[in-house]
Each structure stands twice: as structure tokens, then as C-alpha cells.
């Protein structure tokens, strides 16, 4: 197995740690200054892990590739499902508008509602890895914890759908330097988003919709939720109020919603699929 390719930022952090150790050997009386330097460095690493769209810890798909932008594509990604009370209605809306989306599913929920997860895949949507357990402390995991969270999620979703996920999204996009080597070993890619509506917290569909369509353009990756969806004042899952309007707006702007795997195909391959 090839060793993981670390980002230049992590190589720099490693080099600074070595230099700090050497400086401590030669100037032990400066230990406090060196300690403060290392604290600041680790603080910077932590901040990088707290920013979902940051690429300092490794490759991060925050926007669709240039070829997808030229084709006028956007990607709708839907997290935290499957949810038996919401996902079927989401699938009906997508079918009505003839749109394919990417569902980042939690492994345990996919196993609990396997028929619904299979239905999602059979409808032509991409089912991708949102972790096996979706625990809030995931960003504190070491290598073994990430291997379980990513690897078990891969195995669960592959067993249920028959397709191996190509993308992984941690809970809230939070991570640490131990994740990227695991993703490389598993052959999956970190995917975040360009814009989100905060539809797990905001109860007003107008606010969520406005956030999603503000400066909406080809290449955007949009984030919505079928699992853990906030409810409107009348008790409706918020995504069900926002999604139809969003799809109508995409059509008005002549933007095509595709799955992440479709968007990341080489231009000539995608053209061939479209012609088929």
C-alpha cells in the first residue's frame, strides 16, 4: 500500500515541529516561546478542520470541476438520510422535475431503511458516504476512528446499493489531519459544498431558499437535508417547501442538476453519456 500523500500545509507543519525540536535542543531556555509556537500551529490546524470548505488538510471538492461548469451543471446534495418520513417525498419531487441528486447517507440509517436506500439508488441518484454513525465528536477521531467511520460506511452502502461510494462528507464538514490518509486508502474523495441554506436550524423556507439561490451559478454544490430537517411553522419538513422552488429556479437559469459522480466525469465521457 502506497503511503498517503500529505498536503503541503501538513508537510510544512511537520517540518516546523522538527525545527522546533532542534531549536529546543540548542536553545532549551527558549522552551516557552517554542511551546507557544507549537500551540499556535496546532490552533491553525484545528481551525482548518473547523472550516468545511478549507483545503489545507487535503483535497476538498468545494465546487464542481471546470468541465461541469462549462456544461452549466450544479449538484444538489442531500444529507443525513434516509428518513422514511421525508426521503420518499423528496424522491417524488426529484422525479417530477426529472432531476438527479446526490444523497449523503448515514450508514446506520441506510441499514435501518435499506429498501428506501435501494429505491434512491435505483432511481439514478448517487448514494454517497456520510459516515457510519454520524457522531458529533467525529472531528476528534484518530486514524482508527476515521477508518471505522469511513470504512464501515463504505461497506454498508456498497452492500445495500451494489455501488461503492466515491465521495465522503463528514458531519458538518468537520475533520482533522487524520481523515485524508484514510480517504486515500479507501479511494474516496472529500466533498463539501458551495452554498447551504441551514435547513436543519432555520424554520423559514424563504430564508433558506434565498441563501441557496443568491448568486447561484454553474459549478455550485448545494446542501440540503432530508434527515434532521427543520420543520416549517405548519410542521412540514423544510426541504419539501424549498426543493420545488429551487428546481424551478435552476430551470429558469438554464442550469442542469446532476450527481457529483456525473459532474466529475471527464468532458468527453459526459458528452458520450448525454448522447447515449
CATH of the domain at 110: 3.20.20.370
Is pLDDT above 80 for 9? Answer: no
Residues 71 and 169 in one domain: yes
pLDDT(155) > 90: yes
Residue 167 reports pLDDT greater than 70: yes
Q: Would you say residue 61 lies in a domain?
A: no
Q: Which residue did the predictor score with more confidence, 24 or 116?
A: 116
Q: Which domain holds residue 34?
A: 8-50
pLDDT of 271 higher than 90: no
Picking from 95-104, 133-142, 207-216, which range would have the lowest pLDDT averaged per residue?
A: 133-142
pLDDT above 90 coverage of the chain, percent: 75
What's the mean pLDDT in 70-80? 98
Strands 256-258 and 189-190: unpaired
- Rounded Cα distance between 25 and 79, Å, is 49
Q: Write down the pLDDT at residue 135.
A: 87
Report the distance separating Cα 199 and Cα 207, nearest Å.
9
> What is the reported pLDDT for 267?
61
Q: Are residues 14 and 100 in the same domain?
A: no
| Whether residue 116 is found in the same domain as residue 21 | no
- Write down the pLDDT at residue 133: 95
**Model confidence over 33-60: pLDDT tens digits?**
778 878 887 888 888 888 999 999 999 9
Is the per-residue pLDDT at 272 higher than 50? no
Structural domains of the chain, count: 2
Q: Does a structural domain hold residue 173?
A: yes
What's the chain's average pLDDT? 91
Give per-residue pLDDT as tens, 200-240: 999 999 999 999 999 999 999 999 999 999 999 999 999 99
Q: What is the pLDDT of residue 43?
A: 86
Instruction: Examine residue 1 and state whether it is found in any structural domain, yes or no.
Output: no
Q: Is the pLDDT of residue 30 over 50?
A: yes
31 and 88 inside one domain: no
Amino acid at each position: 500500500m502506497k503511503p498517503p500523500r500529505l498536503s503541503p500545509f501538513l508537510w510544512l507543519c511537520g517540518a516546523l515541529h522538527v525545527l522546533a525540536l532542534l531549536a529546543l535542543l540548542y536553545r532549551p531556555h527558549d522552551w516557552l516561546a517554542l511551546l507557544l509556537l507549537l500551540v499556535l500551529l496546532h490552533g491553525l490546524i484545528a481551525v482548518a478542520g473547523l472550516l468545511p470548505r478549507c483545503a489545507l488538510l487535503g483535497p476538498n471538492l468545494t465546487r464542481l470541476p471546470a468541465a461541469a461548469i462549462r456544461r452549466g451543471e450544479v449538484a444538489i446534495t442531500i444529507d443525513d438520510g434516509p428518513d422514511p418520513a421525508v426521503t420518499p417525498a423528496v424522491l417524488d419531487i426529484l422525479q417530477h422535475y426529472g432531476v438527479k441528486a446526490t444523497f449523503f447517507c448515514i450508514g446506520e440509517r441506510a441499514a435501518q431503511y435499506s429498501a428506501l436506500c435501494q429505491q434512491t439508488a435505483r432511481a439514478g441518484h448517487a448514494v454517497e458516504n456520510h459516515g457510519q454513525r454520524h457522531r458529533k465528536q467525529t472531528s476528534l477521531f484518530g486514524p482508527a476512528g476515521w477508518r471505522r467511520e469511513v470504512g464501515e460506511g463504505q461497506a454498508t452502502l456498497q452492500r445495500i446499493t451494489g455501488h461503492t461510494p466515491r465521495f465522503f462528507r463528514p458531519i458538518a464538514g468537520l475533520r482533522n489531519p487524520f481523515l485524508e490518509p484514510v480517504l486515500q486508502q479507501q479511494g474516496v474523495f472529500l466533498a463539501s459544498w458551495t452554498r447551504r441554506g441551514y435547513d436543519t436550524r432555520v424554520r423559514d423556507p424563504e430564508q433558506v431558499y434565498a441563501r441557496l439561490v443568491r448568486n447561484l451559478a454553474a459549478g455550485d454544490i448545494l446542501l440540503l437535508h432530508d434527515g434532521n430537517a427543520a420543520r416549517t411553522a405548519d410542521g412540514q419538513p423544510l426541504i419539501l417547501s424549498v426543493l420545488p422552488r429551487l428546481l424551478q429556479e435552476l430551470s429558469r437559469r438554464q442550469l442542469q442538476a446532476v450527481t457529483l459522480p456525473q459532474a466529475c466525469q471527464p468532458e468527453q465521457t459526459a458528452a458520450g453519456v448525454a448522447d447515449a
